[in-house]
Amino acid sequence: MAFIALGINHKTASVAVRERVAFSPEQLAEALRQLCQVVGSREAAILSTCNRSELYLEMESAQPRAVLDWLAQFHGVPTEDLHACAYVHEDAAAIRHMMRVACGLDSLVLGEPQILGQIKTAYAVAREAGTLGPLLGRLFQATFSTAKTVRTDTAIGENPVSVAFAAVSLAKQIFTDLSHSQALLVGAGETITLVARHLYEQGVKKIIVANRTLDRATLLADEFSGEAIVLADIPDALVRSDIVISSTASQLPILGKGAVERALKLRKHKPIFMVDIAVPRDIEPQVGELDDVYLYSVDDLHEVVTENLKSRQGAAKAAEELVVQGASDFMQRLRELEAVDVLRAYRQQGERLRDEELARAQRALANGASPEEALAALARGLTNKLLHAPSVQLKRLSADGRCEALAVAQELFGLTTGNSN
């Protein structure tokens, strides 16, 4: 049995690489089934966010190269491109890594809470796809429990620090007074919801939400007395918008250089601040070449969040200790589970020997033996049979010089050296 956590993240790969191996929600179920079939994994889950793509697997034996080859083949990326930026954690290290990710200790924004919800989604998708078995399922539950403890017992989740908050903080640096700015938000997921909330709290009263489905956009826009539009209406809204923040699951760019150029002309080159939080990117990188456009990607937010993280640095140490403890507890439970099959087989053997000796005693009684004789024979026979196999094995181990096995046997049977009872 081996646990594996393999992937790339914002620390090891640029956004240009990460977007090439990002999984769309529509791909996940088939990707999971294919992954298990190709690499021979018994259980698997995939976490794909703007900052990371990670595969969690439970296998008979660790085969990270096969997993990496599958990831490259699935996305049509040369294996060597991923080999340079991929990381692999196995067994206890994989368990600690997964828990660190869930607690936000491995995030671009230290302690950000969104990642836990994304891991819960990965768990639900794997369960729905039929690739979540008992061992990986237990690991997810232990991970959720550890993350909850970290949130409850440390201050790592305090203060509004997230990618969404970082984007709004950057906008505030560029536009001193956000109350006079209009924001265009592309997407209607959790990240954009957080962006909208932070913008509203910073005084932005004019918010436009653009989404593929108008109903979803309307639901979010209404929360902030905003305007809802579909993606096709973005060019018109762009002319009116000073701030553009995008985060969708689109596999192709939504905003191109041409559309932004036209908007700038109509705005008489009034600057536009743009943040592309999506992976793959929603805004063509060439947009950043335009005058009067300030375009930032997810990777660009790193410097912005540094100041906001200082209050969480102290809490991170306590969180790391809780993760180590959580991983240790889980490994102990796994080791206990490994003994279950042995205990079950030993009990079945004992019950079989008991039944044999009981049947022998019953036959003796039927043939006229006294109860005392039958009980004595039962006790003697059962004792001899229960001790036979351990006695033979201990003699063999002793003859082979396996002194450590004799010490284990003493501990197993609760004996002390020279015990005559």
- Residues marked active site are found at 50
375-378-382-384 Cα dihedral, nearest 10 degrees: 100
Dist CA 16 CA 389 (whole Å): 63
Give whole-number Cα distances, 259 to 150, 271, 369, in Å.
45, 15, 102
- Burial, 359: exposed, middle or buried (Cβ in 10 Å; 0-12, 13-18, 19+)? exposed
Instruction: State in Å, rounded, how far the first CA of the chain is from the last one.
Output: 40
Q: Where does residue 364 rank: exposed (0-12), middle (13-18), buried (19+ CB within 10 A)? A: middle
Contact 42/36 with Cβ under 8 angstroms? yes
* Euclidean distance between CA atoms 24 and 94, whole angstroms: 24
Q: Kind and range of the H or E element at 331?
A: helix 310-366
CB-based burial label for 107 (10 Å; 0-12, 13-18, 19+): buried
The secondary structure of residue 22, as a DSSP letter, is: P
- Output the CA–CA distances (angstroms, integers) from residue 298 to 56, 277, 295, 301, in the order listed: 24, 5, 10, 6
Tokens linked to 380: 């003697």
What's 235-270 look like in SS3? Answer: HHHHHHCCEEEECCCCCCCCECHHHHHHHHHHCCCC
Least Cα distance to 290 among 310, 309, 267 occurs for 267
How far apart are the C-alpha atoms of 168 and 245, rounded to whole Å?
A: 9
Sole residue written with tokens 């240009």: 16
Buried b (16+ CB within 10 A) or exposed e, 126-152: beebebbbeebbebbebbbebbebbbe
The three-state (H, E, C) secondary structure of 70-93, written as one string: HHHHHHCCCHHHHHCCCEEEECHH
